[in-house]
C-alpha cells in the first residue's frame, strides 16, 4: 500500500478553505483526491497487494519552507509498503506512475507545474489501518 506525500511551494499549496484556493492549488487538491483511485485501478501494474482499497492509499499535503533550496513547485513522494521487487520491476512501476500522473494532467486539462518531481521508494513497511469504526481493517 502506498503512502503519498505531496509537498508544494506556496503557489501550489492548498489552503484549508477551498474558496481561497487559486487554480494551481485546486489542481493539487484534485490530484490528491484522485491518486487513491488511480493507484487502486493499477494494482497489478504497480505490484501492490491485491485487493488494496482506496482507503489504503493515503495522501498528505506538506508545504516547502520559504528557505528551502532547489525544490520543485510540486514534489510527489510515494512510499510503498510492498518489498522484494527487482530493479527491473521497480523501473516499470516508476514508468507506470509517470504515465498515470502525466495522463492525469492531460485528462483534467491541467497545466503540468514547470518544476515537478516524483520519488518512489519501497519498504518493507509494517503496520495497520482501521477505518470506519473498524468496518475496514488492514494489517501489513
Q: pLDDT for 80-93, tens place per residue?
A: 999 889 999 999 99
Nearest residue to 12 (alpha-carbon basis) of 49, 64, 53, 59: 64
* pLDDT tens per residue, range 46-94: 999 999 999 999 999 999 998 999 999 999 999 999 988 999 999 999 9
Do residues 100 and 48 touch, judged by C-beta distance below 8 A? Answer: no
Do residues 75 and 13 touch, judged by C-beta distance below 8 A? Answer: no
Nearest residue to 96 (alpha-carbon basis) of 42, 33, 28, 30: 42
* pLDDT tens per residue, range 100-134: 999 999 999 999 999 999 999 998 888 888 888 77
Give the whole-angstrom CA distance, residue 77 versus residue 121. 8
- For the chain, the structural domain boundaries read 2-139
Count, in order, helices (H) and strands (E) of the chain.
Answer: 2, 6
**Confidence (pLDDT) at 18:** 63
> What's the chain's length in residues?
140
**Confidence (pLDDT) at 7:** 98
User: 2-139, what's its fold?
Assistant: Macrophage Migration Inhibitory Factor (3.30.429)
* 3-state SS, one letter per residue, for 63-118: ECCCCCCCCCCEEEEEEECCCCCCHHHHHHHHHHHHHHHHHHHHHCCCCCCCCEEE
Amino acid at each position: 500500500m502506498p503512502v503519498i506525500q505531496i509537498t508544494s511551494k506556496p503557489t501550489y499549496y492548498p489552503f484549508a478553505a477551498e474558496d481561497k484556493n487559486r487554480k494551481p492549488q485546486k489542481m493539487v487538491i484534485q490530484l490528491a483526491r484522485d491518486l487513491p483511485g488511480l493507484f487502486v485501478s493499477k494494482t497489478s501494474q504497480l505490484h501492490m497487494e491485491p485487493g488494496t482499497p482506496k482507503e489504503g492509499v493515503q495522501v498528505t499535503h506538506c508545504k516547502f519552507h520559504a528557505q528551502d533550496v532547489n525544490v520543485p513547485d510540486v514534489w510527489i513522494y510515494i512510499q510503498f509498503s510492498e518489498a522484494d521487487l527487482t530493479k527491473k520491476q521497480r523501473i516499470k512501476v516508476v514508468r507506470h506512475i509517470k504515465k498515470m500522473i502525466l495522463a492525469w494532467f492531460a485528462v483534467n486539462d491541467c497545466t503540468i507545474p514547470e518544476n515537478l518531481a516524483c520519488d518512489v521508494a519501497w519498504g518493507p513497511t509494517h503496520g495497520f489501518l482501521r477505518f470506519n469504526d473498524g468496518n475496514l481493517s488492514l494489517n501489513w
